[in-house]
Each structure stands twice: as C-alpha cells, then as structure tokens.
Structure 1
C-alpha cells in the first residue's frame, strides 16, 4: 500500500484460494476489479483498494467473499446502485465507500432496506458512505440495531428527511457525521441514549427547533457542530455541565437569541468556539474565563457594552473576532497579553478612544481589522503595525498617522534636536552593561537546568480530542496531489492542504510499513497536541485509521532552515541566524524541562527546523519516536534518529552546546 505501482490489477490475484488480504491502496492503478470477488478467493478477509484510480463502473459482487471483515473502496469512481448484497457479509467490521458516485435505487421496495440492513450488521464498527449522491432518507430502523457501530459517516450524501428516533439505539456510537445534507425537523430527544458519543457533526442542514437539553447528558461529548441550521431560542444553560469533555462547539449561522447563560462560561477547557451570525445579545463580562480557547468567533450578533479588561485572560487565543456587534468604549490595553494572537477583527462596532500602543507587543498578529468604529488619535507604528494597510483602519474619522494608511498626518509633534555630545557618553556607558547582561543570560541558560518554565495550559486528559478524518484530508490536499507534496522522509510524506474552515495545514502521512510501529498512535498524538510553545510546530490534530495515520501540523510558509542554508537564492543575516539558534534552544529547553513528560528529540537538524512568515524558528518532528514506537524509553527514542547522525543537544542534554549552521 502507498507505493507507486501502476498498470492493471492482475486477475490471477483474485484466484488465490488461501489469500486473506489484498492491499493496493493509494497506487495509480488502472483497469477494473473482477465482477465476482470471492468466487475463487473464499478466504479473503481484507480488501483495501482505496485511491487506486480504477475505471468507473459498478461495485463488484462481494457476496461470495463471506469471510470479509474489512472493505475499503473509497475515493475511486464506482458508479451505480449501492448493492443490497453487502448485507450478506455477516463478518464485516469496516465498510468504507466514501467519495465515489454511488446512489440508492429509490424505485425498488428494497431502497430503504439497503441502509437499514447495513446498520443491523452485528460486527460492523465503521460505516462511511459520505461523499456519494445517495439521494435517500435515513430509514426508520426495524429490528435491533448493531451495538458494535462506533462511527457512522453519511456526510455530503443528499440525505433528506428527519433524523429517526431509533438512532438512539446505536448505543456504542462514538462519532456521528451527518453534515452537509438536507436533514430537517428537530434533533430527536433519543440522542441522550448515545452515552458513548464523543463527536456529533450536523452542520449545514435545515434542522429546526430548540437545541435539545438532552445533548447535555452526553458526558463524553468533545465535538459538537450544529452550525448552518435554523435552530432558534436560547443557548441551553446546561451546556456548562460539559466542561470536562467539550473541546469544540460550533453554533454559528443559526437563529439563536437571548443572552449567553452565565453557566456557559464554565466551559474552561474549550478550544474552539463559534457563535457567529446569530442574534445573541448582552455583555461579554465573563469571556476571560475561557483560558484555553485558541479560536473564537462571536461576530455578527448584537452583543453590547464594553469589551471587558478580563479579555487578557484568554492568553492562548490565536484567532478572535467580535466584528459587527454593538460593542462600545475603549479597546482594553489587556489585549497586550494575548501574545499568540494572529487574527483580530473588531470592525463594525462603536469602539472609541485611542488604539493602545501596547498592541505593538503582539508580534505574531498578521491580520487586524479595526475599521468602521469611532477610534481616534495616532495609529501605532511599531511591531506588527508596520505591516498593516489602510484597510485595517477604514472609516474611523479621527485617526491620524502615516500617509500610506490614508489618514491625516498627526499634528503637534515636537522635534527634538539630538545632542550627539551627550549621546556618545551615554552609549559608551550602556554598551558594557548590555554585554555583561548578555553574558549573564547565556550562563543562566547553559547551567541552570531547573529553570521554571511555563507549564502546558491544561491537560486534555479527558475522553477525546479532535480527530480529522481521512476524507477531510483528501479534500484538503486535493487527493494528496503531487502539486501539494512538500517533501518525503524516513517516516513518510508531507503535503500542503487547506481545511474547510480555510486553515492552511501541513499533513504528515506516515509510512505504515515501519516495523512494530503505531502501537499507541492515537494516545501519543493526543499527548503531543497538548504541548504548546512558541518555537514548536503546533500539532493541530491527527488522523488515526486502520490503514492511514497522519499528523495535521501548522504550515510554515518559509520552509526549512536547510533550504535557507544551502540554496544559492536565499541568504540570512547574522542576526537572523542568532535568533534561530535562540529559538531552537528555547524549544529544546521546553521539551527537556518544561513539560510533565520529558521529550528527547534525537533528530534536531536543519530540515527539522521550519520558519514562519517572520523567520521565527519552529522545531518539528519532536515526539515522533513516541508516535512510532508507542513508548517513552530512551532506547526506543534513540534508535529512531537519522541514521549516522545524532544531534549533540540530545546526547549531551546536561550541557549547553552550540553547533554551527
């Protein structure tokens, strides 16, 4: 699997009577499959032919392959009707047919029973039919539904009608994906019976009514997406009881009204929150309690009052929007503590006063929109403000500053003539002090190993964190197209991609043929995603499936340090090189001493040091040894470094080592 095999699949491959597994995934093959698989391969248990570019045509007959446990034919061009003969595969555990062109024959009496019988397969744990034009309804189930089903994906399938009450009988379900369909009606109250549910995606349907309080009884619910529907009424006050598990909540683009209940702000571990495009009202006094949130969108509502100074409490925030509300008063100076902020939109409010000069401290801020307010005074010029255009400040009226910002020049600026005679005495006295302070700082960094470092924000020790499906990654990378390939290495390949919410990512797809690998991939991936440091690549999520494992990483636009060092078309100043050395040292210090479980990188090299837009260095591939080996022993870690090379900073972690770039 995941090689570069091409040509037609030999028909003799399906004539081997003892063969149990056929795995041809992710190869540019051609031709088609035999029409009757299993007739001459009765012992076949796994058929994995996803992403193989097979000729368009109907699905082969699998009814004679009665021992099949896994069928993955996703991301091909299969057409025609979803065959009811699939229901005869009583041993089937996983059925993945997503992103084909399959439909259900609505002209036959068996149309409703095709889906229904699949839900009744006793051993089935995973069912993914998303991305097919099924053009059907979710049937009213008859009989006892499977208690083995863990994940169901029927997204992007033109499914209409109501969500049946009997859905609550899928008692083991962990993930339910019904997004981007035409489902209507209300969420059935029987949803409360899905006591193991951890992810529920219902966005972009036409669901109505109130958000049911029964959702609050799903104590393990980590991801809830109800955006893009027609839910009305208020936000249930009981959602605050999900504070232990809930990490992502999307309620945007609905018809919600009233104030946000005070108990809602008890969701102290929430990471992603979207309440945009509703009619919510009232102040935001307790917003500072969401101390772990990294992405929050409250735009296009009717919030009023001042932005509270407690906003400085959400120090991990990266993207924040309060645009198009009725907020007033000054911009709090406490924004200066949001050092990770990259996107800030406060446009279309009634904010007044001056733009705090303290915002110059937000060095990672790339997008700022303060337009259509009542701000006045001088626009700051330092830090990120030197990169903002006039669009950030449009229609404020009383702002002044540089002419490039299309505002008047500021008046009453007194020019002081420099006194160079005094300056040379001051400079001659200051330089020795600076050198002495720099020497002291180097000694502290090198010898004081037990320095107190900011610990990780909040451990995601609860049930489940956000997983990204294989289907999402295929869409994000255009089918892992070669044009998106960033590089390959010993562990696999890295692709550029863009998620549906327009976040640019890098996808590290692992080579599954590594011997003894991935024993606890999901657990280790979750642990590594909790590691947060300015100079470490952010692990956004992971994809953990039977025949596909990948990390979803923050994309670094300037590539690797290796390319900057050895490319004739690129160069760096000595100050940039020193900054990069410092960034790498801080990252390693955090990995060794700043996290609850010490992590030794073992493969620090220029290709594993990536640079963002501002040439800030981010160390990548930390903890890969844990993901592959599933353990934290030094022995396992050391053996996974680059052959013939071991980074001195990892071998001699007791000493301060500087090595040349």
Structure 2
C-alpha cells in the first residue's frame, strides 16, 4: 500500500501541469480574441461615415461579442468573431485588409452601404468563410482571384458595385457555391463555361454587365439551378435548347440582349416550376407557346420588344397566379373572329395587375369581356393597335386602374361615363381615335389624375367645369 506522503508530490505535479495547460489555453484564447478586437477596430478606423450610432458600441468598454453586427463562436473556440453583419448601416470608406485577420469568420454581410476601393484580397485567408455579401456598395477594381482559397464558400454576392475585369477562372474551384451573383457591375468577357461544373449552384446572376458571346451550353448541367439572370448584356445567338431541361428553374431573365430564335413549344412542360420569364428587348420570334399555361405557378410573363407573332394562347387563364403580362411592341394578332379569346380567359387570373399589349397587330372589336378582368388590375395598355368598336361601359368595374392607355386605335362612340368611377386613375390616354360626343363631366371625379390626353378625336362641346377638380 502506497504511503499518502509519497503521493503528495505526484498530485502537486499533476495540479501544476493542469494549471499551466489551463493558463496556456486562456492565454491562447485571449490572444485570439485580442487579434479579433484589434482587427475590428482597424475596420472601424477606415470608416469615414456611418448612420448615427451605427458603430457606437465598437469601443473598449463593451466586449467585442456585444458589438453591433457581431456574432461570436461559443463552443470549441469561444469568443471568436464568427459573423460580421452590418446591412444598410450607412457605412462609407474602404474595407480594411485587417478583415483577413478574423480567421473564424463564417459570415460577412456588408451589403447596401457605401463602401469603396478594392475588395481586400486578404478575405482569401478566411478559410472558414461560408457567406460573403458585399452587394450594393461602390467597390472597384477586379474580383480578387484568391477567393479561391475560401473553399467552403457557398454564397458569393458582389452585385451592384463598380467592379471591372472578367469573372476569374479561379472561382471554378469553389465547388460548394450555391449562389454566384456579380450582376450590376462593369464585367467584360464571356460567361465562363466552367460555371456548368458548379453543381450545387441554385442562383447564377451575371446581369447588367458587358458580357458578350453566347450562352454556354454547359449551363444546362446545373440541375439545381432556380434563378438564372443574364439580362442587360450583349449576349448573342440562341438560347441553348438544353437550357430548357433545367426543370428546377423558377426565374429566367435574359432581357436586353441580342438573342434570336424562338421559344420551344413545350417550354411550360419542361420548366414546370417557372415563376417569372423576362426575355424582353431581344430578337426572338415565332408564336407564344400555349404550353406556358402548364407552368401553373407562373406569375410574370415579360417579353416585350421582340417579334413574337400569331394569336395569343387561349388558356392563359389557367395561370391563377399571373400578375404581369407585358407583350408590348411585338406582332401579336387579333381580329373579329380569332385572337381575343385570351382576354376572356384572363378573367380567371384574379391577381392580374398589369396587362400591356401596346404596339402590336390587335384588330377587331374590343370585347366586352375586358370588363371582367381582375379588379386588382392597375395598368391596362392596348394602345397603338387597330382596335375598333367602343370602350365597353363595364370598364367602370376595374376600380383599381391607375393607367388606362387605349390611344392610337380606331375606337368609336362616346367615352363611357363610367370612366369617372376609376378613382385611382393617374393617366388616361385616349388620343388619336374616333371618339365623338362630349367629354364626360364624371372625369372630374378623377382627383388623382395627372395626365389626360384626348386630342385628335371627334369630341365636341365645352370642357366640363368639373375637370377643375
């Protein structure tokens, strides 16, 4: 049996070792915490302006983990800065390279501020970073190539800055990316084909840049893609047929390019989850596919300024969530026999707010079913066509209309008194038609009216005094 006196030195040694190791751990933690605190103060020192009180908590009397916009780790390495989120805090100035010293950062969101200068390449040292959002600032120069070292990055959003150069090939190494957004910059070059290898990507937004070339066929490999934003570039050629196999796609935006070709007849079957389609201001043609009504969640069809032809699909009313239908400046047809069935169908679209078909080839008599459109309708514009007949008196049912544009047609008869019921109306354009009779005194009820255009008609009589209202 061991003597208690023999064990005492052993116990003392073990206690000393424990205390030393604890002290080293505390010292290491404090050292790490101090590194974070100093880096954060360096970031603050670069800020030249901020919203009142935005960074007032960033001082020596408050623990760094309690500073505005700061979150810290809790378990394995407690007290290390893990998130910096200062969205819309009015911050102006360059972003300090000392941000690269915050080695435990997993999340950075500094969007919607006024930060400028280059994006610090030191961010590439943040190996734990999952989320980086610097959008809606004024960052310049190029996209740093050493983001490639942030191998855990899932969200990279640099949209709406003043970045130039090309999309760096090094980003192809970020295999975990789910969102890549660089829209609204001055980026040149082409859409890199390697983007098709980012198999986890659910959103690709490169719109409003100076990208040229074609849409890479490789994008059709992005089986999880839900949002594809290519708008407002200089893209050429056709939309690859294989792109319509992305069955998870919800938003397709490629307006304001130089794309050609037509839409596949089965687009609504191949893209069943489509919510919004923006293809305006291109060189697209052919008929508008009837299969669009199979995309049952479709709410926005925005395809103006193209060369679409033929009659409108007759069963768009199946799109019960449809809220916007923009088809202006195309070659859509209608006459007394065919072409207006779609308007009757749209009465089932109870969320419809905007219907714009200006400058097409719509002819024949305006059907009375126009009065059955959703009472939520705010914009109804069918100007610059060849529509005849009179405006149905039931137009008074569309009580939320803010704009009614029927100018430059062949409309006859009188202006319905019921137009005076449209109390939300801001703009009423009926010029260049063949209206006769008097100007309805009920127009004086339109106290929100900003623009009233009735010229080049056959109207007669005095201007109603009620218009003074």
Q: Secondary structure at the match of 1:350?
A: coil
Shift in Å at residue 36 of structure 1? 5.9
Q: Does the aligned pair in 2 maintain the 1:4–1:28 contact within 8 Å?
A: no
2:365 maps to which of 292, 299, 306 = 306
Inter-partner Cα distance in structure 1 for 2:321 and 2:266:
21
Give the structure 1 partner of residue 277 of structure 2. Answer: 224
Shift in Å at residue 226 of structure 1? 0.6
Change (3 A) 1:371 1:73: same
2:217 maps to which of 156, 159, 165 = 165
Shift in Å at residue 327 of structure 1? 0.4
2:345 maps to which of 265, 282, 289 = 289
Q: Secondary structure at the match of 2:123?
A: coil
Q: Secondary structure at the match of 1:123?
A: coil
Change (3 A) 1:269 1:100: closer
Inter-partner Cα distance in structure 1 for 2:128 and 2:52:
27
Inter-partner Cα distance in structure 1 for 2:452 and 2:425:
15
Inter-partner Cα distance in structure 1 for 2:418 and 2:113:
55
1:53 aligns with 2:114: yes
Shift in Å at residue 60 of structure 1? 2.8
Change (3 A) 1:352 1:141: same
Q: Does the aligned pair in 2 maintain the 1:210–1:231 contact within 8 Å?
A: yes
Give the structure 2 partner of residue 255 of structure 1. Answer: 307
Q: Does the aligned pair in 2 maintain the 1:192–1:214 contact within 8 Å?
A: no
1:24 aligns with 2:80: no
Change (3 A) 1:212 1:378: same
Inter-partner Cα distance in structure 1 for 2:84 and 2:425:
50
Shift in Å at residue 390 of structure 1? 9.1
Q: Which structure has the bigger radius of gyration?
A: 2
Change (3 A) 1:76 1:209: same
Give the structure 1 partner of residue 142 of structure 2. Answer: 81
Inter-partner Cα distance in structure 1 for 2:109 and 2:192:
28
Inter-partner Cα distance in structure 2 for 1:232 and 1:162:
18
- Structure 1 outlier segments of 4+, above 6 Å: 403-406
Shift in Å at residue 402 of structure 1? 1.9
Give the structure 2 partner of residue 581 of structure 1. Answer: none
1:5 aligns with 2:66: no
Give the structure 2 partner of residue 124 of structure 1. Answer: 177
Inter-partner Cα distance in structure 1 for 2:255 and 2:154:
27
Change (3 A) 1:314 1:84: same
Q: Does the aligned pair in 2 maintain the 1:238–1:263 contact within 8 Å?
A: no
1:202-229: per-residue Cα shift (whole Å, max 9, x none)?
1111111112335321111011111111
1:377 maps to which of 437, 459, 464 = 437
Aligned positions of 1:542-621 closer than 5 A: none
Q: Does the aligned pair in 2 maintain the 1:294–1:318 contact within 8 Å?
A: yes
Inter-partner Cα distance in structure 2 for 1:373 and 1:77:
49
Inter-partner Cα distance in structure 2 for 1:73 and 1:83:
13
Inter-partner Cα distance in structure 1 for 2:109 and 2:135:
9
Aligned positions of 1:269-288 closer than 5 A: 269-283=321-335, 284-288=340-344
Give the structure 2 partner of residue 320 of structure 1. Answer: 380
Q: How many residues align?
A: 396
Inter-partner Cα distance in structure 2 for 1:295 and 1:207:
25
Q: Secondary structure at the match of 1:103?
A: coil
Q: Does the aligned pair in 2 maintain the 1:220–1:245 contact within 8 Å?
A: yes
Inter-partner Cα distance in structure 1 for 2:319 and 2:411:
28
Change (3 A) 1:23 1:270: closer
1:343-389: per-residue Cα shift (whole Å, max 9, x none)?
11111000111122233332322321111111111221125566569
Give the structure 2 partner of residue 366 of structure 1. Answer: 426
Provide structure 2 residue ranges, at least 5 long, that are not aligned to the other structure: 1-49, 65-69, 71-77
Q: Secondary structure at the match of 1:63?
A: helix
Inter-partner Cα distance in structure 1 for 2:88 and 2:319:
41
Q: Does the aligned pair in 2 maintain the 1:37–1:64 contact within 8 Å?
A: no
1:622-660: per-residue Cα shift (whole Å, max 9, x none)?
xxxxxxxxxxxxxxxxxxxxxxxxxxxxxxxxxxxxxxx
Q: Does the aligned pair in 1 maintain the 2:437–2:458 contact within 8 Å?
A: no
Inter-partner Cα distance in structure 1 for 2:463 and 2:304:
37
1:467-499: per-residue Cα shift (whole Å, max 9, x none)?
xxxxxxxxxxxxxxxxxxxxxxxxxxxxxxxxx
1:412-450: per-residue Cα shift (whole Å, max 9, x none)?
xxxxxxxxxxxxxxxxxxxxxxxxxxxxxxxxxxxxxxx
Change (3 A) 1:363 1:97: same
Shift in Å at residue 23 of structure 1? 2.4
Inter-partner Cα distance in structure 2 for 1:350 and 1:201:
35
Q: Secondary structure at the match of 1:61?
A: helix
Q: Which deviates further from its counterpart, 387-396 or 313-322? A: 387-396
Q: Does the aligned pair in 2 maintain the 1:36–1:60 contact within 8 Å?
A: no
Q: Secondary structure at the match of 1:78?
A: strand
Q: Secondary structure at the match of 1:258?
A: strand
Inter-partner Cα distance in structure 2 for 1:151 and 1:357:
50
1:316-353: per-residue Cα shift (whole Å, max 9, x none)?
21110010100011111121222222211111000111
Aligned positions of 1:65-464 closer than 5 A: 65-104=126-165, 113-114=169-170, 117=172, 121-141=174-194, 145-213=197-265, 215-216=267-268, 217-242=270-295, 244-283=296-335, 284-291=340-347, 292=350, 293-316=352-375, 317-382=377-442, 384=444, 391-402=452-463
Shift in Å at residue 123 of structure 1? 2.4
Q: Secondary structure at the match of 1:382?
A: helix
Inter-partner Cα distance in structure 2 for 1:60 and 1:104:
15
Inter-partner Cα distance in structure 1 for 2:443 and 2:297:
37
Change (3 A) 1:386 1:222: closer
Change (3 A) 1:227 1:404: farther
Q: Does the aligned pair in 2 maintain the 1:55–1:77 contact within 8 Å?
A: yes
Give the structure 2 partner of residue 459 of structure 1. Answer: none
Change (3 A) 1:371 1:241: same
